[in-house]
Structures are given as C-alpha cells and as structure tokens.
Amino acid sequence: MVTCRAARLRYSLSMPGDQALIQIVDAALAEAARKSGPWLVCRPGCTECCMGPFPITQLDARRLREGLAELDRRDPRRAADVRQRARQAVAHTATDDDPCPALDPAAGTCDLYAARPITCRIFGPPVRYGSDAVGVCELCFHGASDEEIAACRVEVDPGLEYEVEESTGVRGETLVAFALVTAQ
C-alpha cells in the first residue's frame, strides 16, 4: 500500500456507482488496517505490491484514465512520466520484477493513488474481496499466527462492482499499462 505524496485526485461524477464502490472498499480497508495495528508495515517507499503486471477491471482502467487526466491538469510533467512508463511497459513483456507504470520509482509512491485499482486498494492487510483468496503482503504480519491474521480480516462484497459494470456496460479486464497508454 503506497500513499500519495502530492495532490489528491478527484473522482469523476460520471461514475457515481464507482464512487460508492470505492467508498465501501476504502472503509473496509480502513477497518482492516485498524484491526491489523502494528502488524501492518506499509509506508511510502514500500513498493512490494507495485511490482509485476496484474489484471484490473475496465472500471479500474476508466478510473485510472480519469486520474491521469486530472494529474495532467495539475502536474503535466508527472503525468507525462506516467505515460512514458506505461508506453515502456507495453513495449516489452512485463515481468514480475517490473514496477507498475503509476509508481514513481524515485519517490516510491503512486502518482495515481486516489484513482488506483481495487486490487491495489485491498492489498496489504487481510481483505477478502468476494471469492478471491485473502491477500496479505509478505512484508506484513511477520511472526503472526494464522489466528492473528484471521482476526484482522475483513470481507468486501464485490456485488456493487458487478452492478456498476452492468449499469455502465463497462466490463472485462486489462492491465494498468494498457489502460494508461490509451489515456488521452
């Protein structure tokens, strides 16, 4: 989990269902972080969760593109850097060691933190998103028992995500780099 180092990005009013989804997911993550207490060691500069390509929904992609457009208005140089990293990631086959294009490698922070995908939002503390397995950062919970980890777990019902996809017709998966390369 990486924190934003600069301007907060606004969500588009064009996706009110997505805003509700993000509020629910963020509230669940806050509860998981509260329960996790000192076990959770995520901080700026810790980029374990920002490595390698991973699938995101088209809703996530749309949110990222809107976040990049907002970043372009606030800080065109940083937005250009994100676009360049995305183009580089698309140009070669990304590996598990390659950073996410939204990650500022020098600062170790996410340039699109407020617009980050659901996967990024729920990684770190023990969060179950629908039928997905609970993903816990390998850097957190050192020495914790399975019971201690389970006591911190929260579950998020992805039902609203499915409703938003159904109502908008925005479905399918992509990768962060592809989503950002197609941003205007």
Give the start-to-end residue ranges of the domains of the chain. 16-181
CB 149 within 8 A of CB 62: no
pTM over 0.85: no
Q: Block means of pLDDT (10 residues each) for the chain, length 184 residues?
A: 32 60 89 91 86 90 95 97 95 83 94 94 86 77 89 85 78 91 76
Contact indicator for 137, 32 with CB cutoff of 8 Å: no
Beta bridge partners of 101: none
